[in-house]
Amino acid sequence: MQYHKPRMRKVRILATLGPASDTPEMIEKLFRAGADAFRVNMSHGDQADKAQLIANIRALEKSYNRPTTILVDLQGPKLRVGTFADGKVELHTGDNFRLDTDATPGDAHRVHLPHPEIFAALEVGARLLLDDGKLVLRVTEMGAEHINTIVEVGGMLSNRKGLNVPDVVVPIAALTEKDRSDLAFALEQGVDWIAMSFVQRPEDVAEGKKLIGDKAALLAKIEKPAAIGRLEEILELADGVMVARGDLGVELPPEQVPPLQKKIVSTARRMGKPVVVATQMLESMIVSPSPTRAEVSDVATAIYDGADAVMLSAETAAGAWPIEAVSIMDRIAQQVEGDPDFFKRIHFTETPADGTTADALAEASGRIVDTVETSAIVCFTSSGSTARRISRERPAVPLLVLTASQITARRLGLLWGAFAVRTKDIGSFEEMVAKGKRMALRYHLGHAGGRIIIMAGVPFGTPGSTNVLHIVRLTGDELKGH
């Protein structure tokens, strides 16, 4: 049997699949170029196409004898204006413009707004952003069936353009009927992560968790300013978080996004939840074979901050250079992680241990790696919680995660530094040591005479019971007879 050698890169690359990359051949090429996990975007295409796409991703498991990780991204509610009699109008700065409940096609003075919830939520002085923030309206007066505004930034506005309401919490459920259908489909397909859009409050995450149960992990997308104020509460409930910079950048002044990105990443790290940095990371590579220097710096910054994963969107889904985009992201990551100061920088974020045995041992493993020469941390886990605790410490050596659960192995594909392998359960301390040593050698994470750290919970197979940390020396004979 072929054993796929783990990537030594710590940060994970999440690649979005689309028309430019949805064939089995392209998915394999992206994987070989460095993609660790794949995003399926439910905003485009139908469920039948997605079922084939998911099957194509899963086929990698057989070819490479390693778990694949699939994230399905739900569209979420899309707020849009209605239509215009002539298809589009030009709004001039200083003009008055009305949004109302009348479904008649609009003109340069008014348009239909088919979202009654917004009328109840808005206040005088609130902003309305149209077409990804290109046009800005300010509310001057309102009633149950109309919103009067003044145009602060004008421009062309055409049928069904998007609307953002950054200044208030909009009383709209984060899951639409389409999302509920797509979620049921994704869970049927056995995907690993569900990304939830339009999260404004912890209640939104609670609703998603209730529907998902334990069938997948939930990634909350932070794209609404309202979510920032309740970030810790949202993270308490979610299994991970995404910094959705595109939408944040529409609803907030662009200069506010970088400090918020750092805040979201450090909060998630402190709470031990995986964090993905997404949107426009190598945007120019949609049409160009190489990125701008600014984009390279942007990716590097997310990696220096200790993000678990960096994501490619249109670059791999619809761009002209999908393989090159993954390859360059991989090279940037390797260069950053090879910086002698890299580990100093990612430890700027303090991740204090909770008062549990498991946290104390995970913290100790990171310190041992810095004190005693070790080549890997090998951890046995059934739920993945031990791996997440160790990963939170951002250790300088690879983390080999051994689990009997295919579900756990797949979900760990978004976790910083973790290389998950599905293997049979262990029954005794001696078996744990023997298997840990054998697997470290098999996956080239140790050498004769070297040391590894082994972590597990006794009794074996009990989730969340990590209570053993053992340092062992490898002889090199462990693979004989296997």
Q: How far apart are CA 202 and CA 221, in angstroms?
A: 12
From the candidates 7, 58, 80, 201, give the one annotated as an active-site residue: 80
From the candidates 161, 221, 388, 435, give the one annotated as an active-site residue: 221
From the candidates 10, 39, 273, 438, give the one annotated as an active-site residue: 39
From the candidates 16, 68, 149, 279, give the one annotated as an active-site residue: 279
Per the annotation, the verdict on 39 as an active-site residue is: yes
Per the annotation, the verdict on 245 as an active-site residue is: no
Q: How far apart are CA 139 and CA 272, in angstroms?
A: 41
Provide the CA 16 distance to its chain's centre, in angstroms: 11
Q: How far apart are CA 7 and CA 398, in angstroms?
A: 9
Active site residues: 39, 80, 221, 279
